[in-house]
Amino acid sequence: MASELHQTQVDLDGLLEVLGRNLYSTPAVAIRELIQNAHDACVRSRLETGRDGDFSIRIQADSHRNQIVITDNGSGLTYEEVLKYLATIGSGYTRVLRDSSHNEDMVGYFGLGFLSAYVVAEKVEVWTTSYQTPEQTWYFSTAGGKKFAISATAPAQVGTTVKLHLREEFYHLAESDLLQGLIERYCCLLRVPIFLNNDDVQVNNLVAPWRLDAATSELQRKKRRLEFAAIFEGAFEPLCAIPIPENNPWSLKGLLWVQDRGGYATSDYRNISVFVRSMFITGECRELLPLWAGFAGGVVESVALSPTASREDIQKNERFYEIRDFLAETLIEGLRTIAANESSVWRRILSRHNQTLLGAALSDDRLFEVMQNDLKIPTTIGDVTLPAYLKQSGGVIYIRNEDKNSQEELLFRAQMKPLVSGYLYAASGFCQKYAHWNHLKAHILGSGDGETKLFTEETVDKAIHDKLAALLLRKNEALSCARFEPAHVPLLVIHDQDVALKKRIERDEADKRIGSAALSLARLHTQAISAEIERRLYVNLNSPLIAAMIDGTQEAAGHLAVAVRAYMESLTHQVDDSDSNFSDELKRFSDALLAITKGE
C-alpha cells in the first residue's frame, strides 16, 4: 500500500494536563509566570514605542473572593496577537522580539508560561489594550484553556489585566504574605516596579551591588555587597564578599562570599542563587561552585545560562561548565586578594574553614599556592602552620598516619621534634604536597620508607647481633642495629603497618565492621603481605644500656634485656591492644629490676 501523509493530532486536554500539571514543581510559579509576562510587556513597550519609565506591575489579592489580579501598563495585545500568542500554546511574541532585537531584558522565550494559569485557576479573564490600537480593548476569557471567548469591551488604559479565579485547592495563593514572599524571591531583581494590593511601597526594591551607579564609592559598594550576601545566605553571616569581575565572556555578574561558620572538612554548605534576565531561577545550583568550596555562597546573573522550560533549573550545557570554572577562579583570586590585603578577614576565614581548606587546597593547585603557608595542620605541638612546624622539626616533615602511640613517636618526643597527625582531615596529603612543592623531605612513620631514613642502620659483628637478637627478640620479630639520638632511648619496637593491617583484616571481628564486599577486596590485598615479621627492633648502639648488654654476662644481660624491652613496651602500651598484656609487661619489668638489684 502506498504511504499516506497524515497530520499529527494533538490531544489538547492531555497536553494541557501534562504540561500544566507536570512542568512546574509548585503551582506558585503560575504567579511568577504572569508577573514575568507583565514585565516583558513593559520591556516590549519600551523597545517599540521608545517610552521610558513609568512602567509598573500591580498585583491585587482578594482572599475572600479567591482571586488574584495582575495589571501592567506595558504593550498590551491586539486582537490578532491575542489569538496568535495568548491563545496558542508554544507561541509567543516575546521570543520573536528577543530574537529580532537581541535585547536581553525580556525573560520569556518558550511560549508556555501562560499555560500555568490554567493549572491554578478554573477561570482566567484578560483585558488588554495594545499601544498599537489604544482605542480598542479586548476581553478574553477561558475556563481551563481549551476553549476561549474573545470580544471587544469598554476602552481602558494601554496594558493588560489578568484575573485568576483560583481553583479551590489553590485558594491559599491569594494570601498577601505568600504573594509578597513570592515576589521578593523571584522578582527581587526585576527592573519594573511591582506593587502589592494598595500599598505604594515597591516590593522588589533590592539593589544588586553590581547595579550600583558609577559614582558609588568602593566603601559603599563593599558594604552593599555584604548586605546583599547576607540576604541570600540566610543562615550564616558572610565573612567577605568577592565581586565577580565584569567584562567576562558570559556577561556574568554577581558576587561570591565565604560563610562565617565553623565546619568540618566534609561540611558542604555551598549555596548559590542564579538569576537569568533578572528573574530568580534557582537557589540550589550548588554545582556551579567547585566541590571543594563547601564554605562558599554566591548570587550570579547571566544571560549565558539557559533555564529549563519550567524555569526552575539551569541547563547543564557547555556554558554552564565554563561559568563554573570561571567562578572557581574568581573565588581563588578573591581569596588571594584578601590574603594579601585584608589580614584580619583572612585570619577569620582560615580559622573558620581551616579543615575544609586543607582538603580544598589539595584538590586545586592555585588554592594550594595561596594558602600553603597559612593553613594550620594538627601536630604534637598543637595546630601550627607548616613554616612554624618546620622551624621546630629541623626542616623535615614527619607524619604519623596512625592514631596510636608508637615507639617512633616516643623517639620524636625524646628528640623534641613535633609530629604531624596525618590521620586527621587532609593533613597527611597536604603535608606531602607541601614537601613536594617546596623540595622538602616528608617521612611517613611506620611505612618502611620512613623508618629506613629515620634510623641509620649499622652493621655489627655477627656475634653481637646474634647475642642481642637472642636476648631481645620475641616471636615474629627481626632486629636491626642503628644509631640514633638521644642515647637514653635504648631501642624502638616498630610495628609493620602492613602486617598490622593484615592482622586486623583477617581477624574475625573485622567482619562486623567492614562490609563483606569491601572485606574480601581488602583481604585480596593483605593476602600478599607476608606476616612473618610483624615487628622490627631498632637497637640503639649509642645507648649505654645496650653497651652494657653487649659487654655483660649472659645472665646480667638477660635481666637488662627483659627490663629494657618491658619498659619500652609499657611506655607505648595501648589499652585496647589485645596482642599484649600490660600487666604482664609490668611484671616482667619489675622482676627484671629486682633481679638486677639483687645482682643475680
Ligand X SMILES: Nc1ncnc2c1ncn2[C@@H]1O[C@H](COP(=O)(O)OP(=O)(O)OP(=O)(O)O)[C@@H](O)[C@H]1O
Q: Output the known binding site.
A: 33, 37, 72, 91-92, 160, 311
- For ligand X, the binding residue among 129, 137, 142, 160 (CB under 6 A) is 160
Measured from the CB of residue 312, what is the shortest distance to ligand X in angstroms?
A: 12
Residue 75 binds ligand X, judged by CB under 6 A: yes
What is residue 263's three-state secondary structure? coil
Query: Which residue stretch of 35-43, 293-301, 319-327, 562-570 sits at the interface with ligand X (rule: CB under 6 A)?
Result: 35-43
Cα(51)–Cα(313) distance, integer angstroms? 33
70: β partners: 59, 162
The distance of closest approach from Cβ of residue 166 to ligand X in the complex, given in angstroms and rounded to an integer, is 18
- At closest approach, how far in Å is the CB of 356 from ligand X? 39
- Interface with ligand X, residue 192, by CB under 6 A: no
Closest CB to ligand X among residues 81, 233: 81
- Please give the span between the terminal C-alpha atoms of the chain, in angstroms, as a whole number: 116
Q: Which residues contact 469 (CB under 8 A, 6 or more apart)?
A: 479
* Pairing verdict, β 121-129 and 67-72: unpaired
Using DSSP bridges, classify how beta strands 456-457 and 491-495 pair: parallel, antiparallel or unpaired: unpaired
Instruction: Show contacts with ligand X in window 369-388 (CB under 6 A).
Output: none
Using CB under 6 A as the binding rule, whether residue 41 contacts ligand X is answered as yes
Site for ligand X contains 145 (CB under 6 A): no
What is the total count of residues that contact ligand X (CB under 6 A)?
A: 24
Q: Between the CA of residue 450 and those of 454, 503, 595, what are the distances in Å?
A: 6, 21, 37
Restricted to residues 493-532, the positions that interact with ligand X (CB under 6 A) are: none
Which of 140/232 has CB closer to ligand X? 140
CB of 85 to ligand X, least distance (A): 4
Query: Residue 189 — φ and ψ, nearest 5°?
Result: -105, 0
Question: Segment near ligand X (CB under 6 A), from 30-38, 165-173, 189-197, 438-446?
Answer: 30-38
x/- mask, ligand X, residues 43-72, rule CB under 6 A, reads: -----------------------------x
Return the H-helix or E-strand segment holding 546.
helix 544-551
Residue from 23, 32, 37, 210 binding ligand X (CB under 6 A): 37
Task: Establish if 33 lies at the interface with ligand X (CB under 6 A).
Answer: yes
86 lies in the site for ligand X, by CB under 6 A: yes
Binding residue ranges for ATP? 33, 37, 72, 91-92, 160, 311
Nearer to ligand X, 38 or 367 (CB): 38
- 44 vs 443, beta carbon nearer ligand X: 44
Residues in the chain: 600
Q: Say if residues 424 and 359 touch (Cβ distance below 8 Å).
A: no
Residue among 157 and 581 whose Cβ is closer to ligand X: 157
Give exposure, 558-576, as e/b (b: 16+ Cβ within 10 Å): bbbbbbbbbbbbbebeeee
HEC secondary structure over 556-575: HHHHHHHHHHHHHHHHCCCC
Alpha carbons 244 and 227: distance in angstroms, whole number: 16
Q: Which of residues 102-121 bind ligand X (CB under 6 A)?
A: 108-114
Confirm or reject binding of residue 346 to ligand X (CB under 6 A): no
- Name which of 114 and 346 has its Cβ closer to ligand X: 114
Which residues are CB-contacts of 384 (< 8 A; sequence separation ≥ 6)? Answer: 376, 377, 418
Give whichever of 124 and 299 is closer to ligand X, judged by the CB atom. Answer: 124
The answer to whether residues 162 and 70 touch, using CB atoms and an 8 Å cutoff, is yes
Least gap, CB of 440 to ligand X (angstroms): 58
- CA 562 from chain centre, in angstroms, equals 55
Which residues make Cβ contacts (< 8 Å) with residue 484, sequence separation at least 6? 411, 454, 455, 456, 538, 540, 542
The residue range among 89-97, 287-295, 422-430, 533-541 that interacts with ligand X, by the rule CB under 6 A, is 89-97
- Measured from the CB of residue 78, what is the shortest distance to ligand X in angstroms? 10
The verdict on 20 binding ligand X (CB under 6 A) reads: no
Cα distance between residue 361 and residue 97, in whole Å? 47
* Nearer of residues 41 and 445 to ligand X, judged by Cβ: 41
Work out which of 73, 94, 428, 540 binds ligand X, going by CB under 6 A. Answer: 94
Cell numbers representing residue 96 in the block: 520573536
**Cell 611505612 belongs to residue:** 447
One-letter amino acid for residue 322 of the chain: E
> What residues make contact with ligand X under the rule CB under 6 A?
33, 36-38, 40-41, 72, 74-75, 77, 85-86, 92-95, 108-114, 160
